[in-house]
Amino acid sequence: MTMPALPLFHILAGKPVIVLGSGEAADAKRRLVERAGGRCADEPAPARLAFVAPAPGEFDPAPAVARLRARGILVNCVDRPELCDFTTPALVDRAPVLVAIGTAGASAGLAKALRLRFEALLPQRLGALAEVLRMMREELRHRWPDAGDRRRALDLALAEGGVLDPLADGAESRAVDWLANGTAPRVTRHHLTLASPDPDDLTLRAARLLGSADVIAHGADVPAAILDRGRADALRCGLGAIPETGMVVVLTMR
């Protein structure tokens, strides 16, 4: 099954966003825009995004959506998924870390329930770790000039139980020492024999390996739904020519 939408983070700092309507729904959209650093504007503004959120009986949203779309503006119309070019996810804010949970408009209640679970799971200090890693970007490039080595070193450190495990206490305070002494993992190869074509039947270990692999080598009978669980930028290849680079996961069906 393909993704129902392409999730993106749109940079709004200082930019106008059209918000039409009054009442609670429109006010909520204005707060959302302002929280992201954007400026709420009326319909004539030269914006790229718009929210149409009329109060009950205020106006018919369809003509407003049509006018905005005719100008090339992407529109979200509250409670009218057929008039939406984009949807707004439930957000977990650990600035600068932002977790967005969407259901392609299927159920705002489900997105909210998941958000509450993540709110309890993700520590407030997660943002501090992200800021430390941001400040270290140039040093990381110097320490590991090869992008693959750099990514593998970070993957190892940020993994569950790793020195920079984002859910562990004090990860940000260990970052400097890790940068000086950390190592990138060597080239490894993992063989996974799958008993089911259903991605929901993947073991936790298999899912983690797929999510970390640099190369996914697979037989022709491995379904696309399984391959989609790997990183989008991981190299895909057949079983006959597997490169020796980074972490290689070899997938076959039983």
* pLDDT tens string 201-242: 999 889 988 988 889 999 999 999 999 999 888 889 999 888
pLDDT in tens, 80-91: 989 999 999 999
Q: Which residues of 40-63 are buried (b: 16+ CB within 10 A; e: fewer)?
A: bbeeeeebebbbbbbeeeeeebee
Number of H helices, E strands in the chain: 9, 10
How far is Cα of residue 147 from the mean position of the Cα atoms in its chain?
Answer: 20
* 143 vs 245: which has the higher pLDDT: 143
CATH 3.40.1010.10 fits 188-253, yes or no: yes
Kindly report, as residue ranges, where domains of CATH 3.40.1010.10 are found in the chain: 188-253
Closest Cα partner for 68 from 82, 86, 50, 53?
50
Cis bond before residue 243 (omega within 30° of 0): no
Tell the CATH topology of 16-87. Answer: Rossmann fold (3.40.50)
pLDDT band at 185 (very low <50, low <70, confident <90, very high): low
Structural Rg of the chain based on CA atoms: 22
> What band does 184 get if pLDDT is binned at 50, 70 and 90?
low
Helix (H), strand (E) at residue 218: strand 215-218
DSSP SS3 for 101 = strand
Q: What pLDDT is attached to residue 150?
A: 87
CATH 3.40.50 location in the chain: 16-87
SS3 of residue 179 by DSSP: helix
- Residue whose tokens read 């140039």: 138
Residues whose CB falls within 8 Å of the CB of residue 63, separated by 6 or more in sequence, listed in order: none
Identify the CA nearest to 93 among candidates 132, 114, 122.
122
pLDDT: which is higher, 35 or 104: 35
pTM: 0.71
